Amino acid sequence: MPIALNWYDDGEEFDTKKLLALEFQKLGLQTRVRGPLLIASAGREKCLLLEAETCFTALTAFRILKDKRLARAAFKRAGVSFAEGKVFKLSNKESAREKVIEFGKAVVKPFDGNKGRGVSVNVTAATFDEAWNAALQSLTSRILVEKCFTGGSEARYLVIDSQCVAVAKRVPPFLIGNGVDSVSQLIAAKNNSRLNNPHLRDRPIIIDDYRKLILSSQKLDLSSIPGRGCKVTVDWKSNASTGGETTEITDIVHPSMKRIAERVARTVQGLHVGGIDILALDHTSKAAAGNYIVIEANTRPDLGIHLFPMFGRPVNVSKIIAESCIKHMGLGGAKPHVAKT
């Protein structure tokens, strides 16, 4: 049975600072905004937040996860599976091309990028030049080439104080043909359905040259009319900010998959709030070598995919973060838990 699309009130708004401030205020703290920072205080005790990144995250944790080579070393220490890959200097383009040929299909991404910028998936020898140039546009210092993990779906595991509190699956943007509307019209309809979602209304599906190539690989263009029930892939990347769809799956994820994310968080010492991205054949099955890989982790995870998922039960992660910060401020508070909404 299909999962119903979540419907949100017209007045609901996604603003990380405002949502976090509201939870701190409910817990009796004062809040104020200074530029990009949210400051929560109680007497002399203060907590500073840059979106979901808190002052209780160590600079070393940020540096480790920002540097993909150090992050991969941390994944190795944690004993978790991650993609085979190699980092290349910008002057070693041909060596990188050979690695893509060796892998057959690869992921090419900036060494020090974030939010999916400059990342190309399912790269082959034929599409390597476009992928390399896309990574260069992010002004990266080096480029990482990884072997593709096929057949899996991506999910963001939100970990607070080394405990996984929420998991949201992200699906790359796609269309389902009806035999009447063109690709362009189907995209407009998808974007219209995103308008009700506070997190996604300003993150529509936009067609660029890269996505036109993906359509072309399916023998389609914007004027094509896909047949009824025909699935059209718009992108291989699943970022919600560029048109991906989100489903909260916290309640059905296998506990062993959550433990994987927690092991990563514990290994990166000083990580208070972290987003761990995992590709898995089935997030509801027991984790085992070969059925998942850790893609990356970051110190400033997007909260909107949990607060306002397209499908599944929303999780009030803003409340969990506020409660954890209060505990770190020495003001009491219980161990983080999955909040019911």
For 38-80, what is each residue's pLDDT tens digit?
A: 999 999 999 999 999 999 999 999 999 998 889 999 999 999 9
* pLDDT reported for residue 139: 73
Residue 133 pLDDT class (50, 70, 90 cuts): very high
Question: Rounded mean pLDDT of 151-173?
Answer: 97
Residue 275 pLDDT class (50, 70, 90 cuts): very high
Looking at residue 268, the DSSP 8-state letter turns out to be S
Q: How many CB atoms lie within 10 A of CB 174?
A: 16
Each domain of the chain, given as residue ranges in start order, spans: 58-81+151-172+237-341, 84-148, 179-235
* pLDDT reported for residue 141: 84
Cβ burial, residue 222 (10 Å; 0-12/13-18/19+): middle
Among the CATH numbers 3.30.450.40, 3.30.1490.20, 3.40.50.800, 3.90.1150.10, which is that of 84-148?
Answer: 3.30.1490.20
* pLDDT reported for residue 2: 54
pLDDT at residue 289 greater than cutoff 70: yes
Residue 335 pLDDT class (50, 70, 90 cuts): very low
Residue with more model confidence, 69 or 284: 284
Question: Rounded mean pLDDT of 109-133?
Answer: 86
Question: Rounded mean pLDDT of 188-200?
Answer: 96
Q: What is the mean pLDDT of the chain?
A: 93
pLDDT at residue 144 greater than cutoff 50: yes
Q: Does domain 58-81+151-172+237-341 have CATH number 3.40.50.2300?
A: no
- C-alpha 33/C-alpha 287 separation (Å) is 42
- C-alpha 271/C-alpha 265 separation (Å) is 6
Torsion angles phi and psi, residue 146, rounded to 5: -125, 150
Q: How many CB atoms lie within 10 A of CB 25?
A: 13
By percentage, how much of the chain surpasses pLDDT 90? 84
